[in-house]
């Protein structure tokens, strides 16, 4: 079976250009996860590379399937030059390793929490997982492998995360849209939730 990571990196380069930096993190008992940085004029994007090496499996399954199951990588987009967002590399690697470490299946509408600011001074400790297919198209793999989906991450403040748990991901996204929230602003204030 072919290694999917070179194909994933090629898809990221096709969609986002050449990365201008990369960092690797290895957690005890997990495979290495890299985070690639892609810089445009006023936006910097961070994409994980390594999460899709293995399929994500239902944590309640008796045996993990080594072939079938969803595969994904994470993409975070923020405004450039406003905050020290390069410090988000380790938290992003932690989130990408969560399927291996915690046995979670990362999917659109879900929340991921790192328990600390995503970067110094960030008002966000968690992210909402967005729908794939916008920025980076899914990467189809040979049968029987599931495609790799590139999931955008939308930073949430603790209050937004709590509100999302009660009202749902769709309601929070509608609130952001109705209020004109700039989700790429690394220092944005929480959206009004009243």
Which pLDDT value is given to residue 1? 42
For residue 192, being part of any structural domain is answered with no
| In a domain? residue 15 | yes
Q: What is the pLDDT of residue 66?
A: 74
In a domain, 106, yes or no: yes
Length of the chain counted residue by residue: 194
DSSP track, the chain:
---SHHHHHHHHHHHH---SEEEEE--TTS--EEEEEEE-SSEEEEEEESGGGS----TT-SS--SSSS-EEEEEEEEETTSS-GGGGHHHHHHHHHHHHHH-----TT-EEE-SS-SSTT-S-SEEEE--SSSSS--B--STTSPPEEEEEEEEE-HHHHHHHHHH-HHHHHHHHHHTT--TT-TTPPPPP--
**183 within a domain of the structure (yes/no):** no
The count of domains in the chain is 1
Predicted local confidence at residue 2, as pLDDT: 55
Query: Does a structural domain hold residue 63?
Result: yes
- In which domain, by residue range, is 68 found? 5-178
In-domain check, residue 172: yes
Domain assignment present for 23 = yes
Q: Kindly state whether residue 187 falls inside one of the protein's structural domains.
A: no
The tens place of each residue's pLDDT in the chain, 194 residues long, gives: 458 999 999 999 999 999 999 998 887 777 889 999 999 989 999 999 999 999 998 766 666 677 788 999 999 999 998 899 999 999 999 999 989 888 889 999 999 999 999 999 999 999 999 999 889 999 999 989 999 999 999 999 999 999 999 999 999 999 999 999 999 999 999 998 87
pTM: 0.93
């Amino acid at each position: 079976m072919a290694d999917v990571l070179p194909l994933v990196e090629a898809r990221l380069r096709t969609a986002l250009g050449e990365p201008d930096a990369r960092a690797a993190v290895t957690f005890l008992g997990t495979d290495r996860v890299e985070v690639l940085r892609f810089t445009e004029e006023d936006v910097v994007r961070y994409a994980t590379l390594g999460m899709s090496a293995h399929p994500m499996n239902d944590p309640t399954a008796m045996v993990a399937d080594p072939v079938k199951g969803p595969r994904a990588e994470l993409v975070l987009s923020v405004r450039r030059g406003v905050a020290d967002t390069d410090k988000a590399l380790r938290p992003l690697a932690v989130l990408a390793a969560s399927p291996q470490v915690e046995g979670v299946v990362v999917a659109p509408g879900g929340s991921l929490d790192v328990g600390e600011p995503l970067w110094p001074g960030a008002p966000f400790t968690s992210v909402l997982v967005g729908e794939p297919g916008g920025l980076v198209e899914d990467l189809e793999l040979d049968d029987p492998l599931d495609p790799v989906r590139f999931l955008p991450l939308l930073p949430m403040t603790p209050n937004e995360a709590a509100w999302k748990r009660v009202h749902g991901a769709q309601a929070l996204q509608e609130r952001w849209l109705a209020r004109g929230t700039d989700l790429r602003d690394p220092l944005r204030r929480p959206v009004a939730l009243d």
